[in-house]
Amino acid sequence: MNSPNATPRIQIVQGDITKQQAAAIVNAANSSLLGGGGVDGAIHRAGGPQILEECRAIRARQGGCKTGEAVITTGGRLPATHVIHTVGPVWNGGHRGEPELLASCYRNSLRLAAEHQLASVAFPGISTGIYGYPKKEAAAIAVREVQQWLASHEFPGTVVFVAFDEENRRLYEQEVGAA
């Protein structure tokens, strides 16, 4: 469902990110790039072995992915043609650089999408599952970073926030509405 408050280039949907028709979906990966639980596991399960193969190749080249950074693979069997894997910070109380690292995840993911001319990018709530980032604070950073990035870059595409549950959908709607 699109938020009535969303600006046209930002949409909010509730559901499973692996089903999204966006050009790219973003994975909340871990720094090993070898897969994990949560959305990471769902993406690898739905996308098939090709994604993991490409992740392994990236890992062999550059030794994984640091927190706040992002790498890109194709989408395997997913409807999305690409997956952007970014590593969110583990929440440790908020004074260990978590907000800035989470913001970098959004910026670096959008930079890769623009470099690869991907017209739509769908984000899950990076770090808000196993990594424990408070959902409200994470939604505020997500919306702020995407809005600032869209305002300052020539990117003709759209950004979709995919909320897995109703609580997250409401949080995104509030943040987009408040901006």
88 contributes a contact to ligand ADP by CB under 6 A:
yes
**Is residue 129 at the binding interface for ligand ADP, with CB under 6 A as the rule?**
yes
Which has the closest alpha carbon to 110: 81, 65, 145?
145
Here's the x/- map for ligand ADP, 149-168, by CB under 6 A: it reads as: -------------x-x---x
User: How far apart, in whole angstroms, are the C-alpha atoms of residue 138 and residue 128?
Assistant: 7
**Beta carbons within 10 angstroms of residue 114's beta carbon:** 16
- Contact between 127 and ligand ADP by CB under 6 A: the answer reads yes
For 28, 56, 59, 60, 145, the CA distances from 163, given in Å and listed in that order, are 13, 28, 29, 33, 17
Cβ proximity to ligand ADP, 84 vs 162, nearer residue: 162
Residue 157 has, within 13 A of its CA and on its CB side, a CA count of: 21
139 binds ligand ADP (CB under 6 A): no
By CB under 6 A, residue 114 contacts ligand ADP: no
3-62 residues near ligand ADP, rule: CB under 6 A: 16-18, 28, 38-40, 42
Q: Which two tokens stand for residue 138?
A: 């994470």
**Binding-site ranges for ligand ADP (CB under 6 A):** 16-18, 28, 38-40, 42, 88, 124-131, 162, 164, 168
